[in-house]
Structure 1
Amino acid sequence: MNTLALRKFREKLAAGRAAYGLWVTLESPSVTEMAVALGLDWVVIDAEHGCLDWADVVAHLRVAVRSETVALVRVAELDRGLIKRTLDLGADGVVVPWVETEEQLRRAVSFAHYPPEGCRGIGAERATGWGECMAEHTAEANANVLVVPIIETIRTADDIDRMTQVDGVDVFFFGPADFSSTAGFRGQWEGPGVARRILDLKDAVRNAGKHCGVVAAGDPNLAERLEQGFLMLGLGLDGGLLLRSLHASLAAVGRDRKIRSGFRIEE
């Protein structure tokens, strides 16, 4: 566990400063290595969507371990085994999708903490130096681990005030695309009225003394999100940022086109 990076991350948020990061979906650990070399505050390694397996995840974690970049892993679902294994591999915390209720959030926190505060089992893996620093790691892990729920359904609005009272949670992340889908606007980043609903939830989180995060849809949106009060700011997804650059270069030579579903060629 990178306690130095975690402390600096929390200090930035507490001071009202933005912590910038990258959402990692591609297999190559060079992606995370670039993020670390550029001094990003955090990366989220996405093990919910895409094709990253455990070997890919640990390869990304390895390149961040001696840096000042917090390395989080988005697990596939709220699951005790997934969270335990992710933290055993040395992640600084977990990002948990589709959290809708206080009860679900309390379970996520419990899964990420050793007893007596939680129910995380102790393993002789990377996190404990393969057992060699077990006492040191278990003494500091509960106070430092990050548990970041993703707010991505309209149902969350019913329980958001209770969720913000759960101890052990510093940041609530927002997923506009899924939120839009549950509001009836599948395939839209923020459908009609969704932007306002997300901002209302963001205000509820901030009024409770917690912080908010989101991935920006582009550079102008990055500045907009900061002004709105989101402090854990994603510059984008690695694949999306690569596509943005490719589109710009292809447009410059008159060869740009959009990718179609099923990778069909445009007629």
Structure 2
Amino acid sequence: MGSDSIHNASEAVSIDNSAISNIVREVVERQLGTTGQPRPSAPAECDLPNAGTLKEKFRRDEPTYGMWITLESPSITEIATRMGFDWIVIDAEHGYLDMKNVMEHIRVANLANTPILVRISEIQKGLIKRIMDVGADGIIVPHVRTAVELAEAVSYAKYPPEGSRGIGAERATRWGAGIEQCVPRANENSLVVAMMETVEAGEAIDEILDVPGVDAMFFGLHDYSATSGYPGTADEPPVIERAMEVQKRIRARGMPSGIVAWEGEEIKKRLDEGFRMIGLGFDTTLLIKAAAQALTAAGRKVPASAWW
């Protein structure tokens, strides 16, 4: 490299360094002002009232309608929130969503002020803590069998003294800036929903309903049927009769309950049975159903299914 090239390169570096210095100086001056004293910062805000709005609807015995998300794109959650669903569930039990996928769905729902829950894959302290840390309004606990299992899950989702959740500088606390504002309100506003999808849970329903910190029960009739000896179906009369007996006991205790319902008549029936957390479907099943209806309207044959 010749002397002129070296000189030009040195001059460019000097200019770049000068520009960087000016930027840093401007940032510092904006932060400190001309007095050199730090400017007061605005208090950190929390999205925690999102869960509180759903709890309030439960207290008023008001029907709520939600959608289950299984696909990666957060655009699906954005569409769901714009359509006016009362709540969103991210299904992290089945499928292949990773923590980054889950967080992006949560971020979209938070911005839309829509309560968002995550169905976890298992009762595991580190998993539940991370789900809550990235901003979920609550968790849905699958395959509950006993009150002891459910109490363990509640503990992992709640800060002391009600639980054992650790305090971290993540989204839920505005990366630590909102610990003083967010943590004291978190236990009251977060949600824990237990899945009623095993015969064992039905038999232990009174003990399960006694667990502090549980906000609702959600029926999974396919798994409930499977544990009853009827895999692959959700409408066998003996199973439905047994499940509705459990639902009556839940309703009598004043606990909100949920279930998936697809069509108008089924929705009305479930509301009459006392369900107040109605899942109107999964993203995949709603897409498949809409596609099947569109193809049928166009004169194409589609595979037969119980969904349409």
What TM-score bracket applies, with the shorter chain setting the length? over 0.9
- 1:1-267 alignment runs, 5 A limit: 2-258=47-303
Q: State how far apart, in whole Å, the 2-side matches of 1:116 and 1:10 are.
A: 21
Q: CA RMSD in A?
A: 1.4
Aligned residue type for 2:271: L
State TM-score, norm by structure 2: 0.81
Aligned residue type for 1:102: A
What is aligned with 2:36? none
Q: Please say if residues 72 and 92 of structure 1, whose CA atoms lie closer than 8 Å, have aligned partners that are also in contact.
A: yes
Q: Please say if residues 202 and 243 of structure 2, whose CA atoms lie closer than 8 Å, have aligned partners that are also in contact.
A: no
> Cα distance, 1:259 vs. partner?
7.9
Q: How high is the sequence identity, in percent, across the aligned residues?
A: 45
Aligned-partner SS, 1:193: helix
Q: Please say if residues 2 and 70 of structure 1, whose CA atoms lie closer than 8 Å, have aligned partners that are also in contact.
A: no
Instruction: Give the gaps of 5 or more residues in structure 2.
Output: 1-45
State TM-score, norm by structure 1: 0.93
Q: State how far apart, in whole Å, the 2-side matches of 1:160 and 1:167 are.
A: 14
Q: Please say if residues 137 and 190 of structure 2, whose CA atoms lie closer than 8 Å, have aligned partners that are also in contact.
A: yes
Q: State how far apart, in whole Å, the 2-side matches of 1:104 and 1:190 are.
A: 28
> Cα distance, 1:192 vs. partner?
3.4
Q: State how far apart, in whole Å, the 2-side matches of 1:218 and 1:240 are.
A: 13
Q: State how far apart, in whole Å, the 2-side matches of 1:250 and 1:220 are.
A: 24
Q: State how far apart, in whole Å, the 1-side matches of 2:51 and 2:170 are.
A: 20
Q: Please say if residues 39 and 68 of structure 1, whose CA atoms lie closer than 8 Å, have aligned partners that are also in contact.
A: no
Q: Please say if residues 96 and 150 of structure 1, whose CA atoms lie closer than 8 Å, have aligned partners that are also in contact.
A: yes
> Cα distance, 1:124 vs. partner?
1.1
Q: Please say if residues 52 and 190 of structure 2, whose CA atoms lie closer than 8 Å, have aligned partners that are also in contact.
A: no
Q: Please say if residues 114 and 122 of structure 1, whose CA atoms lie closer than 8 Å, have aligned partners that are also in contact.
A: yes
Q: Please say if residues 5 and 67 of structure 1, whose CA atoms lie closer than 8 Å, have aligned partners that are also in contact.
A: no
Aligned-partner SS, 2:237: coil
> Cα distance, 1:257 vs. partner?
2.0
Aligned residue type for 1:241: L
Query: Larger Rg: 1 or 2?
Result: 2
Q: Please say if residues 41 and 68 of structure 1, whose CA atoms lie closer than 8 Å, have aligned partners that are also in contact.
A: no
248-257 vs 128-137, greater mean Cα deviation: 248-257
Aligned residue type for 1:151: M
Aligned-partner SS, 2:78: helix
Instruction: Give the gaps of 5 or more residues in structure 1.
Output: 261-267
Q: State how far apart, in whole Å, the 1-side matches of 2:161 and 2:60 are.
A: 31
Aligned residue type for 1:3: L
Aligned residue type for 2:289: R
Bigger fraction of residues in helix: 2
Q: Please say if residues 267 and 278 of structure 2, whose CA atoms lie closer than 8 Å, have aligned partners that are also in contact.
A: yes
Q: State how far apart, in whole Å, the 2-side matches of 1:251 and 1:39 are.
A: 28
